[in-house]
Amino acid sequence: MKRENIIDALDMIDEELLNNAMDYREQKKARRFSFSKLAAIAAAAVLVISATVMTATATYRFEVDPQDANEAFAIAQHYIIQNAENRDPYNVMIAYGLEAWRYDESAEGKLSGLKPVVNLKFKVAGYSYDAVVDLNAGEVIRCDKKYDPNWDDYTEQESYSYAQIHTLISAGKSFDDIGGNINNADAMRILYDYFEINDSCANRFSYFVSEQSANGLGDSCESVTILLSYVHSGYIYSCRIDPVTGEVSDASTTEITDDIYSAKKHLHEHTDNPEFIGFIKACSLASEALGLPDKRDDFPSVLFYYSSQGNYFNGVDFIKPDDVEAFYHYTMRPSTGSNRVNVFLDAKTGEILKIEESDDNLKSNYEGFER
Amino acid sequence: MQDKEIVELFLKRDESAIQNAKSKYDRYLYKIAYNILGDRGDCEECLSDTYLGAWNSIPPQEPSVLQTYLAKLARRSAITILRKRTRDKRRASEYAVSLCELEECLPDNNTPEHEADLKLLADAVNGWLRTLSPDKQAAFIGRYYFSDSIRDIARHLGVSETKVKSMLYRLRADLKKHLEKEEIL
């Protein structure tokens, strides 16, 4: 049968069937909305994080539907991998300071499609990317890559996603850095296989978070276990992977029940070395020192890092005392329009190592922004 | 504005009907056109044809579901543009030109026999579609009528792309079986 015939025959599909198909789609959409609200909130939270610190107004940022932003990011990720700019999907997945907004339609003048053209800015492995993604065509229109000499200077990229925080927790180390027999991509595949996750990193926003267990920091790879958590479609898939044998242990699947913070808490519950204070406690200590209500659930106004070695964080000079093994660094913005406050805590004792208030010239951006 | 009111405007020959239909369904129809044509310029032409088609056909037509009616018009118009485009491209070579000249000696498809065959085929497809569950109907119609991408269908139905692919594969095989049983193939 000729192709033309089938095209013409399909044109004669009963209108009733077409209506039914469309109705069904709408019903699914309505149902999906209610079921996926939590996942959407989680995705939105990532954007909220971005929105708080960028130079334009927060409302402008929110013009992009989180789902569209996720889709655009996935397309950009895929593009980067396809173009051999970064073959390691693990690295591509961790976007630093992702921000997304609707492209300037009036400037382009022809963007009348169903979906927006999204402009994304993000950082991956030392490079800044500025990508424009057309969601109608599902393709990257433009993707500029620029080496970022200030990769370690996060003053302009305050909007850390959850993923990057945890990367910083591992003090800038990647799986490759810690030795053993597996690398980042292997770890990802092991987790995928274990949980039977079907994700070619081309669908939706997702990221890995990695953490060496606290007792492994600075030790040889034999004593290091890797905690890998993968946040995907409202679930966190976590497991420990032995970097030498690739063996999986402590596997769990957790639904993100309230918001993205549960993911954060979940990870910290796995930081099992009693020698170190947990994140929750550290956060409370920092809040107490500042005379603030406990802000741990008020992310993104609280940003935190954990390091065993760094001396320069977020534009604040900080020299780690020799007798301090590891420290937490928090950046807080206590209230709308206030200055940023940096707090450094000894990770073992909770002792305040340094508190510094800084005028970061960004506070005006918060005015009018409501969480 | 409700569909019924827009249709009323068409029936009264009020030109604001087009504007109202446009503001309500332009993006939706654009998507259908873009799925088939993949070109912004052609899509705009297609949409103009669609609204003109609606203006010329209502009345006498009085669609019960305006969205579906416009979707059908948009699809038809997009296919016409696509066929024209393909024809133009074919004519680019001398070989193709010579074939086109020969084609003119052959009967076209608009014969009563051809129309009857098409009707039989369409009836068979409609009959087969009615036997399917709603999600399968939606997947098949989405893919082969509206030319939705696999990704879009997966999103619409709330399932994975892999599932959509395998569902469509099975549906095609099932359709083939059905058409063979009906002695259409």
Q: CA angle, corner B19, sides to B15 and B21, nearest 5?
A: 105
* Residue bearing the bigger pLDDT, A219 or A225: A225
List the single range of A324-328, B6-10, B19-23 with lowest mean pLDDT.
A324-328
CA distance B122 to chain A (A): 5
Contacts of B70 (CB under 8 A, 6+ apart): B21, B25, B29, B50, B54
At residue A355, what are phi and psi to the nearest 5 degrees?
-130, 130
Cβ contact B65–A203 (<8 Å): no
- Token pair of A176 as six digits: 């490759």
Q: Is A9 on the interface with B (CB under 8 A)?
A: yes
pLDDT digits (tens, 9 = 90+) for B57-67: 888 888 888 88
pLDDT at residue B17, rounded to an integer:
85
Q: What does the pLDDT average to over A86-114?
A: 42
% of chain A residues with pLDDT over 70: 25
pLDDT digits (tens, 9 = 90+) for A71-91: 666 677 667 655 644 443 333
List the single range of A19-33, B75-89, B145-159 with lowest mean pLDDT.
A19-33
Predicted confidence band of residue B143 (pLDDT cuts 50, 70, 90): confident
Contact residues, chain A, for B30 at CB < 8 Å:
112-114
Predicted confidence band of residue B83 (pLDDT cuts 50, 70, 90): confident
Nearest CA in chain A to B119: A9
List the single range of A156-165, A216-225, A236-245, A291-300 with lowest mean pLDDT.
A156-165
pLDDT digits (tens, 9 = 90+) for A19-68: 888 878 777 665 543 333 333 333 333 333 232 222 222 222 334 555 56
Average confidence score pLDDT of chain A: 54
pLDDT digits (tens, 9 = 90+) for A191-217: 677 777 654 332 222 333 333 333 333
Cβ contact B121–A1 (<8 Å): yes
* Residue bearing the bigger pLDDT, A214 or A112: A112
Cβ contact A18–B68 (<8 Å): yes
Strand partners, A341: A332, A357
Contact residues, chain B, for A113 at CB < 8 Å:
27, 30-31, 34, 40
CA distance B98 to chain A (A): 21
pLDDT at residue A136, rounded to an integer:
66
pLDDT at residue B122, rounded to an integer:
84
As for the ipTM of the complex, it is 0.74
pLDDT digits (tens, 9 = 90+) for A311-354: 444 456 677 787 877 777 766 655 545 566 777 888 778 888 88
pLDDT at residue A170, rounded to an integer:
30
Nearest CA in chain A to B28: A114
Check residue A206 and give left, alpha or beta (phi > 0: left; psi -120 to 50: alpha): beta
pLDDT at residue A91, rounded to an integer:
38
Largest CA distance in chain B: 53
Give Cα separations from B78 to A10, A15, A216, B65 (angstroms). Answer: 14, 18, 62, 20
Cβ contact A29–B156 (<8 Å): yes
B60-66 contacts at long range (C-beta below 8 A, 24 or more positions apart)? B62/B7, B62/B11, B63/B7, B64/A15, B65/A15, B65/A19, B65/A22, B65/B3, B66/B3, B66/B6, B66/B7, B66/B21, B66/B25
Average confidence score pLDDT of chain B: 79
pLDDT digits (tens, 9 = 90+) for A235-266: 556 677 766 677 887 777 765 443 333 334 43
Q: CA angle, corner A200, sides to A194 and A203, nearest 5?
A: 120
pLDDT at residue A365, rounded to an integer:
35
Nearest CA in chain A to B139: A21
Cβ contact A8–B118 (<8 Å): yes
Check residue A97 and give left, alpha or beta (phi > 0: left; psi -120 to 50: alpha): left
pTM here?
0.38
pLDDT digits (tens, 9 = 90+) for B86-130: 766 655 555 555 555 555 554 455 566 667 777 888 888 888 898
* Residue from B152, B156, B166, B179 to probe the interface with A (highest A Cβ count within 10 Å): B156
Find out whether A95 and A123 touch, Cβ atoms under 8 Å.
yes
- Token pair of B184 as six digits: 């259409």
* Residue bearing the bigger pLDDT, A140 or A147: A140
Cβ contact B117–A203 (<8 Å): no
- pLDDT of residue A161 exceeding 60, the answer is no
Contact residues, chain A, for B160 at CB < 8 Å:
198
Q: Which of B68, B121, B138 minimises the CB distance to A24?
A: B138
End-to-end CA distance of chain B: 46
- pLDDT of residue A287 exceeding 80, the answer is no
- On the question of a cis peptide bond just before residue A66, with omega within 30 degrees of 0, the verdict is no
pLDDT at residue A159, rounded to an integer:
27
